[in-house]
Each structure stands twice: as structure tokens, then as C-alpha cells.
Amino acid sequence: MKKPYVYVTRKIPAALLAPYKDDFTFNYWEREETSVPREELTKQIKKADALICMVGDAIDKSILEEANQLKIIANLAVGYDNIDLEAAKSKDIVVTNTPDVLTETTADLGFALLLATARRLMEANDYIRQGKWKEWSPYLLAGADVHQKTIGIVGMGRIGRALARRAQGFGMKIMYHNRSRNLVAESELGTTYASFSDLLKTADFVVSVVPLSSETENMFDSQAFQLMKKDALFINISRGGVVNEEALLQALQNGDIQAAGLDVFKEEPISKDHPLLQLPNVVALPHIGSASMETRTSMWNLSLENVAAVLRGSAPKTPVSQ
């Protein structure tokens, strides 16, 4: 009997495929520097039984119309805003993601980005490498303290709670905003619930960890930045789509907020000429929230487990509700 065909949109370590090779045929896009072109993905989707895809792969209605026997789309990410869930459901295609395995790693990066932005680490690194360090002076590259300040976490889910645990270690006051209160986070982490506007008005560090959805798209707009304190820092480790980048640019240029740390952007990869990247008070990262060697392996393994389960007729471990 013909083995089910699994297409992967990036190079996957061969060793991870070994346990599945007897049962499934794998193929993947080999060029690491570019993502799979749309025509190639369309060709592959026509014949695939399973697809492992990721951030940057638009699995929309038109491409799903080409699927003839696709049973599962396993996204190598916890966010799944790149997939048209309704279109997948209409064709009985299961969608899975990779929650939990990336939570701590993404929170590490979120907190690192917060610290780097507050203490101006990138500017300091450039300063020394460019030979500008001539002498010590009291306010040279002076940034903002992090300890004892107030962090406002927008999206107190898995990653939000992991961030709150880190903030506790810095003696921070923790506020959060969700659509619904998270009483466990409140009692276990001593966090305080706030409306979105109260959080914006109060927090020294506003951190976005909400999924991108029709509700959260552009939720950080000019009104939101106007509400924030003038010395507040904005950190985004969720998705670029939650921010109106034009409004953020203006807020940073006008001094409405102090600085921003951004791991994600509306258009990825962002152009190096983008105005946000010309500002010294922006720390920018190329969407590396969950990018540790260990976590990437765990994400691949979870995706493979999900694919194997569905192709063998069982329930996947981490389905997305469709």
C-alpha cells in the first residue's frame, strides 16, 4: 500500500523523521534561506496527506481549495493566524499547533527583550563597537530600571503567566488584561486584572502576548499609545498584526512613549529601510521568540506526533479548536 505523503515547508532534521520513515513518505522544501514559493506549495498541497507548515506560510482558502486528500495541517507555532481555519474545517482538515513546548523559551526571550530595551543594550553594544567609548560619564546610556516597576501583560495565557513568573523575580507589580479574568494567575502570581485602558495608563512596561485575531488586530493603535505613560516601554512578542505600526512610529517619534522592543512585525521579514528600524529607541528581533535549539526540536516532535496520530486515525495531541 502507498505510504501517506507528508510535506514540510522547511528543512527538518533527518534524525527526527527516523521513527516515522517506515509508515510515511516525507518531502520538504530544502532551501533554508527562502520559504517555499506559492506555486510549489500549491503543487504539494494537491498530493499531500499531511502538511507541516509555519509562520510565513499563508494557508488560505484558495490554496486549501487545491487540497485533494489533506487530513492535517500541523503548524510549527502556537499562533495559527496564518491558517484559514474555516476553510480547513469545511474540508474536514484537522489543524494543530505547538502550545506549551515553547512557552518558557518565548517568555525568556520576552523578558530578555524587555531588559534589553529598558537598559538600552543594543545602543550600548553599537556604541562600544563603533569606538565611541572615550570615557565614563554618569548618564552615559542610562536607561530605565526594571525591578519594582509595573508590568502590564496583555494576554495572560500560557506565555503571559511564564512572563509574570519572571517579573515576580524582579519584584515587579504585575497587571494583566484578558477578555476574561484568570483567577488562577491572580491567586498564584499575585497579578491584578485591569481593563485594557487602565493597564495602558498604569504600566511602565506594556507587553503584548495576545494571539492575532479579528478582535486583536491593530489593538495597539494611536489611542492606545496616547494612553500609555510617556516613559512607558512597549514590548511585542505576539504578532505584528496587533500593532498599528504607523501609530507606534509616531508615538516613538513624538515621545508619547519611551521605547519599544519588537520581535514581530506586520510584514516579515521587515525591510531594513523601515522607519521603525531607523529609531535608536527600538530594539528589533527577527521573530525569534521560540528559537532555542531545544524548543525547536520539541516543536518539530510535537508536530510529527500530531501528523502521525491523524494519519493513523487517532486524535492529535494539540488540536486547534475550529
Q: Which residues bind ligand NAP (CB under 6 A)?
A: 78-79, 99, 102-103, 106, 155-160, 177-180, 209-212, 215-216, 237-239, 263-264, 287, 289-290
Q: How far is the CB of 115 from ligand NAP (least distance, A)?
A: 16
Alpha-carbon span 179 to 188, nearest angstrom:
19
The least CB distance from residue 177 to ligand NAP, in Å, is 6
Judged by beta carbon, residue 53 or residue 67, the one nearer ligand NAP is: 53
Active-site annotation holds for 177: no
Q: Which is nearer to ligand NAP, 137 or 195 (CB)?
A: 195
Shortest CB 162 distance to ligand NAP, Å: 8
Neighbouring C-alpha atoms within 13 Å toward the C-beta of 115: 12
* 217 in catalytic set: no
Residue 318: half-sphere exposure toward Cβ, Cα within 13 Å: 20
- Among 10, 166, 177, 287, which one carries the catalytic annotation? 287
**In the bound complex, which residue of the shown chain has the CB atom lying closest to ligand NAP?**
157
In angstroms, what CA-CA distances link 238 with 47, 59, 137, 289, 291?
33, 19, 37, 9, 14
Among residues 86, 215, 268, 294, the one annotated as catalytic is: 268
**Where are any strands of DSSP class E within the chain?**
5-8, 25-28, 50-53, 72-75, 94-96, 150-154, 173-177, 192-193, 205-208, 233-236, 259-262, 282-284
Q: Nearer to ligand NAP by C-beta: 42 or 178?
A: 178
Strands (E), 39-195: 50-53, 72-75, 94-96, 150-154, 173-177, 192-193
Cβ at position 257, least distance to ligand NAP in Å: 20
The question of whether 274 is a catalytic residue gets the answer no
Question: Smaller CB distance to ligand NAP: residue 24 or 80?
Answer: 80
Tell me the closest approach of the beta carbon of residue 25 to ligand NAP, in angstroms.
30
CA angle 157, 162, 165 (to 5 degrees): 125
Cα separation of 42 and 65, whole Å?
A: 9
Nearer to ligand NAP among residue 113 and residue 308 (C-beta): 113
Active-site positions? 239, 268, 287
